[in-house]
Amino acid sequence: MIRIDALTACIGDTIEVPVEAEDFVGVSGLSLVINYNGQSLSYQGYTSVGLNGGTLSVQGSTTGSQVRLGWFDLVSSQLGDGQLVKLRFAVTGSSALTFDTQTSGNCELADSLGGVIAGVSFVSGSVTATGVTMSDTVEVCSGGTVVYAGQSFGTQGTYTVRRLSTTGGCDTLVSLLVVVKQPSASTINQTICSPNSYSFNGQSYSSSGTYTATLTNAAGCDSVITLNLTVTPSTSNTTQASACDSYTWSVNGQSYTQSGTYTSVNGCHTETLSLTIT
């Protein structure tokens, strides 16, 4: 008999699956083909246990769904109950491990003359995956890092993270989405006239210069605001004028018919008209 037992493994672990023999007498060669679900198990290699003599070949791939094992020895072997090889698989789900007995030549034992040994039974096995899988999302500002389950992340993407069990059971495998958020920057160009001041980030400024403030944007990242402040000196001029009936002021082109004081502001310069109408 050639058999594989029913085994249990934690999701995310690598398990060794023994291929075992009973009444291994007068056997000089064997051929085994084992099928499995490649979406749940990923072949990682093997360890020879009871087939150390002769020539052994084990073929599989991390992206396949089949392991092919071949062995022959010119001297017939007698092996008691025990393991032939251990196949290693990374476990992401449950899968049957099935001997392909339906295809001629795939699962056979041969004697020293090359004849097929009749009456051999092949007992298929399985791997049952246990444990918890979950999804989670974390956010981090560009240029920074976030720590999750003891690991640091700073690049956007989806990662598989193992959260260690605190109860002695299987670990939790987390499909972690890392979202990188962006900081922002803006510039304010402002001109004022002396002796006025400009309020920026709770402060008043009355001198020309560049000032910065770091706030928080809607994404929760830094928002750097730069103020370019120009303070222009204030100037003024007063014109005394008198006229009969009306007066047209050349500064603004307006006509006035009443005595009074009038002003015209252009930027930081103020013109004042002191007018007397007689």
**pLDDT (tens digit per residue) in 102-128:** 999 899 988 888 889 888 999 999 999
Say whether pLDDT at 53 is over 90: no
The full set of domain ranges for the chain reads 2-130, 132-181, 184-232, 235-277
Phi, psi of 63 (to 5 degrees): -110, 5
pLDDT of amino acid 73: 84
> Percent of the chain beyond pLDDT 90?
74
pLDDT of amino acid 151: 96
28 band by pLDDT with thresholds 50, 70 and 90: confident
Which tokens is 212 given? 């910065």
Average pLDDT (10-14) is 91
**pLDDT (tens digit per residue) in 62-104:** 788 999 999 888 776 665 578 899 999 999 999 999 999 999 9
Task: Determine the length of the chain.
Answer: 278
Say whether pLDDT at 17 is over 70: yes
190 band by pLDDT with thresholds 50, 70 and 90: very high
pLDDT of amino acid 171: 87
**The CATH number of 2-130 is which of 2.60.40.680, 3.40.309.10, 2.40.50.140, 3.40.50.920?**
2.60.40.680
Average pLDDT (201-225) is 96
Say whether pLDDT at 249 is over 80: yes
**pLDDT (tens digit per residue) in 136-184:** 999 999 999 999 999 999 999 999 998 887 677 888 889 999 999 999 9
Q: What is the DSSP string of 163-227?
A: E--SSSSPPEEEEEEEEEE--EEEEEEEEEETT--EEETTEEE-S-EEEEEEEE-TTSSEEEEEE
Mean pLDDT value across the chain? 92
Tell me the residue type at 95. S
pLDDT of amino acid 77: 64
Do 49 and 82 contact (CB within 8 A), yes or no?
Answer: yes
Phi, psi of 175 (to 5 degrees): -85, 105
Question: What is the C-alpha separation between 21 and 39, in angstroms, rounded?
Answer: 28
Average pLDDT (34-57) is 90
For the chain, the farthest-separated pair of C-alpha atoms sits apart, in whole angstroms, at 141
pLDDT of amino acid 164: 83
pLDDT of amino acid 76: 65
pLDDT of amino acid 111: 84
Average pLDDT (45-72) is 87
3-state secondary structure 61-117: CCCCCEEEEEEEEEEEEEECCEEEEEEEEEECCCEEEEECCCCCCCCEEECCCCCEC
pLDDT of amino acid 157: 97
Higher pLDDT, 139 or 24: 139
> Percent of the chain beyond pLDDT 70?
97
SS3 121: coil
pLDDT of amino acid 44: 96
Do 77 and 54 contact (CB within 8 A), yes or no?
Answer: yes
pLDDT of amino acid 181: 97
